[in-house]
Amino acid sequence: MQAYTDLVSRRVPDGARVLDVGCGTGGLIGQLRARGIEASGLTPSSAHACYVRERHGCEVIESPLEAIDLDRWRGRFDVLTSMESFHNVPLDRGVPVMRALLAPGGRWINIDYYRLKEQTRNRSGQLLLDYREAIARSGFTVVEEIDVSANAAPSMAFAHLLASRIGLPMLDFGIGRFFFKNPTLHYLLQDVAAKRRARINLGALDPAVLLAEKRYLLQVLAPH
């Protein structure tokens, strides 16, 4: 997770007004504020919002992205970041809101995972084709794209080992640990475990399956 945070942080210019969409417990916010950057957060979780405010002393908007008050926040941010959180947002409502929040010349830095096809062993994540069409409709251009799928494979391999060698109780333990280190893998694995209390689908945890069915992408997007 730290590697992903560093990838995003390096792309945020000094002096930018930043909103971290789906800020979680504020790891990226803390890193940016340590550089003197004005970073705020957005989360629908009151617990996360309270924690981030207390820890980092910053503005946290407590709302789902698609319900944010655009009368107040439209055009207020130079950079929007979303680290493995945008797959929870409806594309038809979420992408236009991201566009509206950006100031002229702003950038959206997004890192997330996508399904390459409709039918996959693990159904979490948006279809990559649907995502690309949604950002194009809302007037975004991809100015940088890096495939970071291979970075996720070692964590999935560890989960596969837990499930195949030790069993579901240890998989559940591992899922809890992933929540703090890698929220996306936490939710991916949680989805698998919830459906496999009686029968574990090891294929969904196989790194080879992950790389065949999904893509983790880092993108920098600019409105045009």
Q: What's the pLDDT tens digit per position in 84-127? A: 999 989 999 999 999 999 999 999 999 999 999 888 777 778 99
The burial class, CB within 10 Å (0-12 / 13-18 / 19+), for 204 is buried
pLDDT at residue 27, as a whole number? 95
Q: What is the mean pLDDT of the chain?
A: 83
Q: How do 38-43 and 60-62 pair as beta strands?
A: parallel
Token pair belonging to 61: 């908007």
Which residue has 């003197």 as its token pair? 36
Give the whole-angstrom CA distance, residue 7 versus residue 10.
6
Taking alpha carbons only, the member of 217, 210, 216, 215 closest to residue 121 is 210
CA–CA gap between residue 63 and residue 140 (Å, rounded)? 23
Among the listed residues 93, 108, 114, 87, the one whose alpha carbon sits nearest the alpha carbon of residue 183:
87
Residues forming a β-bridge with 142:
221
* 2-149+214-223 CATH: 3.40.50.150
Q: Residue type at 127?
A: L
Q: Where are the domains of the chain?
A: 2-149+214-223, 150-212
Closest CA to 181 of 4, 31, 34: 4
pLDDT exceeding 90 applies to what percent of the chain?
62
Under DSSP, the state recorded for 12 is S
Distance CA(152)–CA(114), nearest Å, equals 13
Query: What's the rounded Cα separation, in Å, for the pair 186 and 180?
Result: 8
Each residue's pLDDT tens digit, 162-180? 555 545 454 454 544 444 4
Contact 95, 122 (CB under 8 A): no
Confidence at 184, pLDDT banded by 50, 70, 90: very low
